Every structure is written in structure tokens, then in C-alpha cells.
Chain A
Amino acid sequence: MRGLMTVFGKELADDFTSWRFLILFAMVAVAGVFTLYIDSQNILAQAAESNQFIFLKLFTTADETLPGLLQFLNMMAVFFVPIVGIALGFDAINEERNSGTMSRLLSQPIYRDAVINGKFLAGVVTIAIMVTSIVLLVAGVGLRMIGVPPNSEEVIRLMLFLVVTIFYGAFWLGLSILFSIFFRRVATSALASIAVWIFLFFFMPMLAGIVANFMVPLEEAGTEVYLSNLGIQSAVLQVSPVRLYQEAISVILVPGARTLGQTIQILGVGGYRLIPNPLSLDQSLLLVWPHMVSLIALTAVCFAVSYIKFMKEEIRA
């Protein structure tokens, strides 16, 4: 336990004093504030139409024609959180090996898992602090801009959003640490993480489409066929942490989650019809619970593989 806390403390200090952290922070903050500026124009226009969740729209609304796939949210999902996770973990283990500090570290009386866990925890705390402060920043600036304070449900939903986002970041951190154990060269492990990132974002949806079309060809038209095709696509995509995260934050941040008709159907919570009224908070929670569990499970898989590889490994340098 002491070993874990010592590694954690050192890594946390490293993370916070690194250029890496500053650059990531600046990048995400600028993106957030920039998106916010564009959003606020729309929200003010919409506010007149009277909506229950005006404040949340700060984090979602970008364009009226895209109610579900909203800009800031998607930027969070698509870009920044994975980048932050990867940037904090891609050289965690192999850099120490290459610089010869690993054998010194592991010749001290600590368990090997303390090294992985300490680094992981430090990364998660860094992500948590970064994401939280940026959301607060965006919220604060937004508050000044639109002058409508969030109601209590909105505050809870924002906190949920933070929690899910931190777990999502933790997955990418876990994955990049895994690669840093497997690959000796830092450039290779970084590339491997980025390759997974690109695959999940760009190729996974295509792959899901191909699998679905193979299993249920869309030749004979009909609602049934179409729906089961979509169902398979959705099911395939459920293994992607990106999709899990996107769906989870849509449910949390866009209570009138109309684009989630498919998900809701698959999860057996509601019909496949569009939902006319916003979901209540506990309904939302019920809906995102499996997503959270899946995200955590995926992270756990990364860890299990990391342990297996790292625990008995020979440390020459």
C-alpha cells in the first residue's frame, strides 16, 4: 500500500508539472470555450422557445438540425478525452524501461502491481481534475453569457457527465498503459493507441454496417428487416467504448434523447418510437448504468492483460 501511494504521489507530481499536461489543458480549454461561444449564440435564440433544460444546452447545442449529435459533447468524445488518456499513459512503462529507471524501481521492496496501479491512479486523478476544471470553466463562462443558472437536476446531470467522462478517459489511459507494457518503443506504443482510437471512431461503424448487412441483408424492404439490421449494428457497436460513451452522455446531457430510439429499444427500456418527453433522472440513470459497467469492464480487461504480461516479466534495464 505504501508503495502504491509513493508511486501515485510521484506520478501525480510528474503529470502536473509536465508540459504535456499544460498543452492538453490549454487544448481542451480552448476547444471548450470556442465551442461555447458558438453555442451561446444558438441557445439565446432558442431560449425564447422555452425549454426545461436551458443550461444543459450549453454543453450540447450546436445546431438545431443536429439535436442529438452535438458539438461540444462530440468533441469531448471524439477527440479530447481519448487524447488526454493516451497522452498520459502511452509511455508509462516503456519509458522507464528505456531510461533504466525500471530496474531500479523494481529492485525496491514494492509489488509490481503498485507501479501500474500508481501510474493509473495518478493518470485518472489528472484526467478528473482536468475535465472537471474545464467543465467548470465552460459552465462559468456560459453562465455569464446566457444568465440562466442551472437547476438542481441539471447540476446532477453535469456531475454524472463528469463521472462518465472520467471513466471513459480511464479506459483510454488503461489501454495506453497496456501498450506501453507490450511495446518497447515509445513511438510504437503511442501509434498503437492511436490506431485503436482511429479504428473505433472511423472503422467500427463501417464494420458494424457490414456485419449487419451480412446477417440481415436489406434486399427485402420492410420495417422488420430494417429494424433488425439496425439492431445488429447497434449490438456490434456496443463493444466500442466510444459508442458506449457517446450514448451515455447523450442520455445524460440530452434528456429528450430522441436520436437514442435505437438504443432504448435494444436495452428494452422503451419502445423504438421516438420519446416525446424528456427522460427523468432515474430513467436516465437506468439507461446509462449498463454503459458504465461495460466501460469499467473494458478497462478491467486492459488491466488484466497488463498484469499478466508485466508481473512475471524479466526486467533487464
Chain B
Amino acid sequence: MSKQLVVETVDLTKAYDGVTVVDKLNLRVEEGEIFGFLGPNGAGKTTTILMLLGLTEPTSGVVRVCGYDSTREPLKVKRITGYIPETVGFYEDLTAEQNLAYTARLNDLAEWLIPDRVGESLDTVGLSTAADQKVGEFSRGMKQRLAIADMLVKMPQIAILDEPTIAIDPEGVNQILDLIKKIAREHNMTIIMSSHQLNQVQRICRRVGIIGKGRMLAEGMVEQLMKDALGGGRFKVEIQLAEVTADIVDRIKQINGVVEVERSGDLLLVGCTQDLRPQIAKAIIAGDGSLIGMKIKSYALEDIYMKYFHEV
């Protein structure tokens, strides 16, 4: 049985003064999935998200969220959708609790329910101790977590997060991503997360859409995209040599499982289907080369994305 579509756009287009920034975008997100919305700066991620929420009007095309047309019935969409904007802001003179209580009231939550709901939300993101602190005193990371709590207050079915990890330190990023994952699982929430930090998206999203210059370049399961993009070359070994000779390159190319060898200066980049470091090291020594260093990395979305992006 196919799952219900939560977000669906049909030929969604947005032009500013004749310049098309979102171009016939067809996006489909199913219930309960964490969808990564990827693209470089200026690709049109934020613009698309604004159209999903009815915060800006499409030039043409249709947006439906849970069956409601975001342009015609924005209030119904907003009732079931939580949104964390790119640059989230709070009333700095109010405490965390007061800020969230305001959101709760705007969502018609009964007054007697508010303290509990706010408390739970703050608890989930680990900010209960800062509940009575003014938001003006919060750090960037705390504000971002507060934004998640703010979204939880209304118990949305769908959460749309626009670059939730922007300007957060690496440890903070992991915390936030884990938090998002946990929330999605516990509340069976559908999540759309935009980012240009590809390794982060890879961490929590099973399915991604890659957008460039307003067009959907690729969409699908991460694994599938990788295969399509890389023809099986899942790993990349970066080798630093004292001197790169044609002989060594030939020897490496002959190793079973090596897909490609790329040369840049005294660096060799070797794409392969599995971890072939021992074989490569042997080949270098056999070719009389002097190995300075060798690094392996598994192909990340970044590389897929780079590939697609170069095609635009």
C-alpha cells in the first residue's frame, strides 16, 4: 500500500520580475518520511518552502499540503505545519516560556493546556532549565533548539525546517539532527529539511531532492542516487605521493574494483567500489613510489550533488 502524499507540488513556478527562481518543480513527500531538500545558495529552496506555507504566492503551479491548497487555504495548512525559518527570531524581552506560550495561544490552544505543552516542548529540546530566561540571553544554538520547541508546541503533522543547522557548531549540529530524528520517530511527523550541508542531510534523510537553479535535478533514495551518479564507485581514496608517475597510475588502474583514477598535482584521487587501501599501497610500493599519506572517504551526497550540479 502506498503511503499518503503529504506534500505535493505540480509544476510549481515562481518568478521575480521575470526571473524564474523556481522552475516547474514537482515535489512529492510521503507521510512519515524525512525528506532532504538540497541545493546550493540561491537554488530556490527557501522560495519553495515559502510557497508550501503560503507565505508567498506561486507564479503558476499548484502546492498541496495534506490535500489543502497552500495558496487558497493557507490557514488550514498553517494549522498542521510547523515551520522553522532560515533566520529564526524570538521576542528577546520575553522568556522562552512566554515566547512559546504566545505561539500556543496563536494556535488556539486552551489556556489550561498551555503550561504543560510548553513545558514538555522545552523538555524535549533540553531547555527546561532556561524556561524563565529571556531569549535575548540565549546562544545561537539554544535559539535553534527553542525554535524546535516552538514548532513542537503546536504538535504539527508536518515540520518544514529551513537550514536548521546553519551557524551551529559541529557538535551542536549532531545534537540538533538527532533531535529532529527522534521527534520524527516519536510523533510520526513528516519532515522536510532544507540544507546545503550535504553530509548532514545524509545523516537523517532517507530520501532527498536536489535542486539547482530552481529545477529538480534528482530525487530519490540516497542509496539509489549514489549508484546512479557514481556507477558503483562508493569510495574515494586520496593518495599523496612524493612524485606521481604514469607507471604508478597504471598499476592502480589495474587493481580489481578501481573505477577511476584522477590526478591533481601530486595528489591521486582513486574511485573504487570498496576499501582498496592495502591493494593500492602495495601497487605504489611495487611501482617504486614513496607514499606520504593516504585517506579514504566514503562518497557523500556532496559528490552526487556536485555531479548533478555540474550538469546544470
Contact = CB atoms under 8 A, between A and B. Distances in A.
A133 interface: no
A109 B83 contact: no
B154 A101 contact: no
8 contacts: A100-B89, A101-B90, A104-B83, A107-B83, A108-B78, A109-B106, A314-B56, A315-B55
B101 to A, nearest CB: 9
Interface in A283-317: 312, 314-317
A191 interface: no
Interface residues of B, number: 31
A2 B79 CA distance: 14
Shortest beta-carbon contacts, A-B, top 9: A100-B89, A314-B56, A108-B106, A107-B83, A109-B79, A99-B89, A103-B85, A109-B78, A6-B105
B57 interface: yes
Nearest to B101: A10
Contact of B83 (A99, A101, A103, A316): A103
B304 to A, nearest CB: 29
A111 interface: yes
Contacts of B79: 109
B23 interface: no
Contacts of A111: 75
Contacts of B53: 107
Interface in A67-105: 99-101, 103-105
B92 A105 contact: no
Interface in B59-93: 75-76, 78-79, 81-83, 85-93
Given A107-B83, A315-B55, A317-B87, 16 more contacts: A2-B108, A6-B106, A7-B106, A10-B102, A100-B88, A100-B89, A101-B91, A103-B85, A104-B147, A107-B85, A109-B76, A109-B106, A111-B75, A314-B50, A314-B56, A317-B85
Interface in B120-160: 147, 150, 154
Contacts of B154: 108
Interface of A: 2-3, 6-7, 9-10, 14, 99-101, 103-111, 312, 314-317
A216 to B, nearest CB: 48
Contacts, number: 73
B106 A317 contact: no
A7 B103 CA distance: 10
Nearest to A2: B108
A102 B79 CA distance: 17
B85 A100 contact: yes
Contacts of A110: 75, 106
A291 B89 CA distance: 42
Contacts of B279: none
A148 to B, nearest CB: 45
Contacts of A14: 91, 93
Contacts of A105: 106
Contacts of A9: 105
Nearest to B88: A100
Contact of B56 (A2, A108, A315): A315
Given A109-B79, A314-B50, A314-B56, A6 B102 contact: yes
Contacts of A314: 50, 55-57
B46 interface: yes
B78 A101 contact: no
Interface in B16-66: 46, 50, 53, 55-57
B89 A101 contact: yes
Given A106-B55, A108-B154, A316 B89 contact: no
Contacts of B92: 99
Contacts of B82: 107
A10 B99 CA distance: 10
B107 interface: yes
A7 B147 CA distance: 19
A109 B75 contact: yes
A54 to B, nearest CB: 46
Given A2-B108, A108-B154, A109-B78, A316 B50 contact: yes
B86 A317 contact: yes
A14 B56 CA distance: 29
